[in-house]
Amino acid sequence: MKKIWIFLNLGIAHFLLFYMAILIITPKNMPLYPIIIWFGMIIFCGLIVQFYWNKTTCNKSGARIRKKYKKAQRWSLYSSFWFLITCISFKKINYVGSSISIFLGCITLISIIVTIIFHIKSIDNKEKSIESGVKSVIKYSWVIASLISFYFARSEISNILDISFDTSHNKLITIVMALIVIFIIYYALYLIVVIILISVSKRRAKLKINYFIASDYSMSICAPLYIIGCISFVAFYMQTFTIFKFGLEIAMKYDTRDTFFCHDKYMLLSEHPDARFMFISVGNYRALIPHDDDFTITRLTCTNNEPFYSLVSVVRKKDLMLTTLKDRTEVLASDLKATMLSDH
């Protein structure tokens, strides 16, 4: 009976930690916010009822949880706790600073890794087949994910900046985008591995303890890890642009400079004093101009006539199509208006 209480206590603790994390990262002006509050209250009440129901109706169980199982459960709870603290720090990042938030995120990641290590050790066989399989997945997936991410990042950066594919390989901004893509790939791989661990855990653990305890143990470890992955992935998806912008600001310090060289002298844009310039080739730059909490990318080419440079905004196919559609809509509206006036 004591083991069932432990699992239920863990379930309630994990639920409260995740519930608070969801309430913190969910914008309060969203229509979904009151629904989350009500659903959370209903689920919490259900857990309390289940706890007391099992406490009064279940018979004592002779199965005992080994110490190695308890280590994984303890670290799983640590992971949920540090995940909540990380969510709070990112919510208040303007007050605590990005370095503290990143540090807390690293602590959460370390807690998750330690949880998975203890869990795998507790259910693995003498041949360490699960451990060796996980190591192989990490080794080969890292090579594949790195290649895919780097080439994808080079393609995207060459399109965004309107530079050649060969030129994009030595830009720090390419590395930033590649890291973001690698992060997304490993998010997906992490969720898949956790799902696999759930089924493997039940099969392995029930050989050493009874089926119900094995099932509860598996869910007490894998369910929190999966929920952490899902919540953080949604938060990461919502803040992808902010994260990329943060990385872009860091990369700009190394990939660009605050002046450009044209007509045998260094110059700057007087109308855009905060603009940064990326050297592409002699007489050819990309100007990154801050605009409405974003950047406008412009081709800057040196000329022989004053002001000795020309600026042309980089336009992608989608933007060009939208501009063309807008122009055609305005022409059509003008023609309709002229037709209606002529009829009168």
pLDDT at 248 over 70: yes
> Has residue 206 got a pLDDT over 80?
no
Residue 3 clears pLDDT 50, i.e. is over it: no
Most confident of 101-105, 119-123, 148-152, 220-224: 148-152
Q: From residue 318, how far is each of 200, 235, 298, 315 by CA, in Å?
A: 46, 27, 17, 8
Residue 23 has pLDDT above 50, yes or no: yes
Residue 62 has pLDDT above 50, yes or no: no
pLDDT at 207 over 70: no
Instruction: Give residue-wise pLDDT tens across range 311-325.
Output: 888 877 777 777 777
β-strand partners of 288: 276, 297
Please tell me the least confidently modeled range out of 107-111, 210-214, 286-290. 210-214
Percent of the chain past pLDDT 90, that is, above it, reads 13
Whether residue 149 contacts residue 185, with contact meaning beta carbons closer than 8 Å, is answered with yes
pLDDT at 260: 92
Q: Report how far apart, in Å, the C-alpha atoms of 246 and of each of 24, 120, 243, 294 are.
A: 22, 36, 5, 11
Element (H, E) at 310: strand 309-313
Strand-pair partners of 289: 296
pLDDT reported for residue 285? 92
| Residue ranges of domains in the chain | 2-250, 256-313
Residue 58 predicted with pLDDT over 70: no
To the question of pTM greater than 0.75 for the whole model, the response is no
| Rounded Cα distance, 302 and 286, in Å | 11
pLDDT in the model for residue 342: 66
Q: What pLDDT, on the 0 to 100 scale, is given for residue 4?
A: 41
> Contacts by 162-167 with C-beta closer than 8 Å and gap 24+?
162/286, 162/297, 162/299, 162/314, 163/280, 163/286, 167/280
- Among 39-43, 143-147, 276-280, name the one with the lowest average pLDDT: 39-43
Q: Rounded mean pLDDT of the chain?
A: 79
Mean pLDDT computed over 186-207: 75
Under 8 Å CB-to-CB from 229, ≥6 apart: which residues?
Answer: 187, 190, 191, 194
CA–CA distance, 209 with 216 (Å, rounded to integer): 11
If DSSP codes are grouped into helix, strand and coil, which group holds residue 156?
helix
27 pLDDT higher than 50: yes
Q: Is pLDDT above 90 for 210? A: no
Confidence of residue 38 (pLDDT cuts 50, 70, 90): confident
Mean pLDDT: which of 100-104, 206-210, 316-320 is highest? 100-104
pLDDT grade for 63, boundaries at 50, 70 and 90? very low
Beta bridge partners of 294: 291
Predicted confidence (pLDDT) per residue in 128-141, tens digit: 787 888 888 888 88
